[in-house]
């Protein structure tokens, strides 16, 4: 009986490998450096006590708070259940299953491809160049047939590099009348000058994804934003669920966008960037470290001699990192989210213990 029910599942879902989120992988950690969360919490309370009514689909005060923060008009902003929902809604709205395709450029965030697979949308995988991690424009241009969406992560996760602005602009020009370019700026607060926000006016095919999960230190509330011209936002209104943002989430998100909270967020970014620089410096002097890649975000990618031993030793000692060894070009690489200063000190201490054995 159960077998018969299982047979009802769509064929593309049957063999789907779900996203291995940090929480799904598990571990018994004391120091969590595997999900690019903020190690410095932000703290909010809510005065809302009654929950018998549905929230607005797109809470107006939240939309206008975020629009103010990024300097856009309200009708250029969509609020979603994390940036992850934005990735999914774009595929839902623009890609015909079994017909259209997305382009993505690994090594990068896996959810672009996973959402395409779930929707039965084709995936054209065009790796970045080895070593520079920049996008291969020529190859993208020659593969645009049937492509509706091109996902670019900037700063890129897990490599931490910035995609050259001139390449993104060229990509926007090449695709102006045939595809949408989605720039995932989940980590842009750690390197704000590299945002593409100023180009939304000029390029109607540009879409930007943002989140409160990283620099804003609010991964637990699940709140993200899609920024684009109003025609695209209106299309996304058609496919979003009726009440995606809970009353409490909207209330906390609005608080996190007031002047004082934004200043706190920027202070946290300074602190985390400074911890990152300290960590990079320390790692560079450890013989087990083969290479530390330059990062513009709240994580670093590190290539180790004996990466497996290091990963396992840290795991056993309650320090949980993210293994990237299976990804294209990233053999022997681990991604380390930047923790608090004391967490960074502890991490270095443990790696040095192994190094001296």
Our finding on whether 42 is near ligand PMP (CB under 6 A) is no
Mention every residue, 6+ apart, whose C-beta is less than 8 A from residue 149.
90, 91, 94, 95, 102, 103, 179, 180, 182
Neighbouring CB atoms inside 10 A of 99's CB total: 11
Nearer Cβ to ligand PMP (224/288): 224
Query: Which one of 55, 66, 84, 174 is in contact with ligand PMP (CB under 6 A)?
Result: 84
Cβ density class 186-204: b for 16+ within 10 Å, e for less: bbbbbbeebbbbebbeebe
Query: Which one of 144, 219, 235, 248 is in contact with ligand PMP (CB under 6 A)?
Result: 219
71, 68, 75: which is closest to 228 by C-alpha? 75
Smallest distance, ligand PMP to C-beta of residue 197, A: 16
Q: How far is CA 226 from CA 46, 70, 77, 112, 182, in A?
A: 25, 12, 6, 15, 9
Our finding on whether 337 is near ligand PMP (CB under 6 A) is no
Query: Which one of 34, 76, 128, 157 is in contact with ligand PMP (CB under 6 A)?
Result: 157
Our finding on whether 213 is near ligand PMP (CB under 6 A) is yes
Nearer Cβ to ligand PMP (272/289): 272
Our finding on whether 109 is near ligand PMP (CB under 6 A) is yes
83, 72, 74: which is closest to 216 by C-alpha? 83
Residue whose Cβ sits closest to ligand PMP: 82
Smallest distance, ligand PMP to C-beta of residue 342, A: 24
- The whole-angstrom separation of Cα 194 and Cα 154 is 8
Task: Scan residues 273-312 and list those touching ligand PMP (CB under 6 A).
Answer: none
- The whole-angstrom separation of Cα 245 and Cα 217 is 18
**Binding string, residues 171-200; x marks residues near ligand PMP by CB under 6 A:** -------------x-x--------------
Smallest distance, ligand PMP to C-beta of residue 63, A: 16
Residues that bind ligand PMP (CB under 6 A): 36, 82-84, 109, 153, 157, 184, 186, 211, 213, 219, 224
């Amino acid at each position: 009986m159960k077998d018969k029910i299982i047979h009802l599942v769509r064929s593309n879902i049957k063999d789907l490998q779900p996203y291995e989120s940090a929480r799904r992988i598990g571990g018994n950690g004391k120091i969590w450096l595997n999900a690019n969360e903020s190690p410095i919490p932000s703290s909010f309370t809510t005065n809302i006590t009654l929950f018998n009514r549905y929230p607005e689909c797109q809470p107006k005060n939240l939309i206008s708070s975020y629009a103010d923060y990024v300097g856009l008009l309200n009708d250029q902003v969509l609020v979603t259940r994390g940036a992850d929902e934005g990735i999914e809604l774009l595929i839902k709205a623009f890609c015909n299953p079994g017909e259209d395709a997305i382009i993505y450029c690994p090594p990068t965030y896996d959810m672009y491809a996973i959402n395409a697979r779930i929707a039965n949308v084709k995936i054209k995988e065009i790796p970045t160049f080895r070593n520079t991690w920049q996008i291969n424009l020529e190859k993208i241009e020659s593969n645009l047939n049937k492509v509706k969406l091109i996902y670019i992560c900037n700063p890129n996760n897990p490599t931490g590099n910035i995609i050259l602005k001139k390449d993104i602009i060229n990509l926007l020009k090449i695709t102006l009348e045939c595809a949408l370019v989605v720039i995932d700026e989940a980590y842009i607060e750690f390197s704000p000058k590299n945002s593409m926000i100023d180009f939304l006016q000029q390029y109607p095919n540009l879409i930007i994804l943002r989140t409160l999960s990283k620099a804003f230190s609010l991964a637990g509330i699940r709140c993200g934003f899609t920024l684009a011209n109003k025609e695209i936002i209106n299309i996304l209104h058609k496919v979003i669920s009726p009440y995606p943002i809970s009353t409490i989430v909207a209330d906390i998100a609005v608080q996190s966008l007031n002047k004082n909270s934004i200043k706190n967020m920027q202070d946290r970014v300074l602190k985390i960037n400074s911890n990152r620089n300290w960590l990079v410096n320390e790692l560079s002097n450890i013989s087990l470290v083969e290479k530390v890649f330059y990062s513009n975000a709240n994580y670093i990618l590190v290539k180790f001699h004996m990466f497996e031993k290091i990963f396992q030793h840290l795991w056993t000692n309650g320090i949980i990192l993210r293994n990237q060894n299976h990804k294209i070009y990233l053999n022997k690489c681990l991604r380390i989210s930047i923790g608090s200063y004391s967490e960074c000190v502890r991490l270095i201490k443990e790696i040095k213990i192994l190094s001296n054995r």
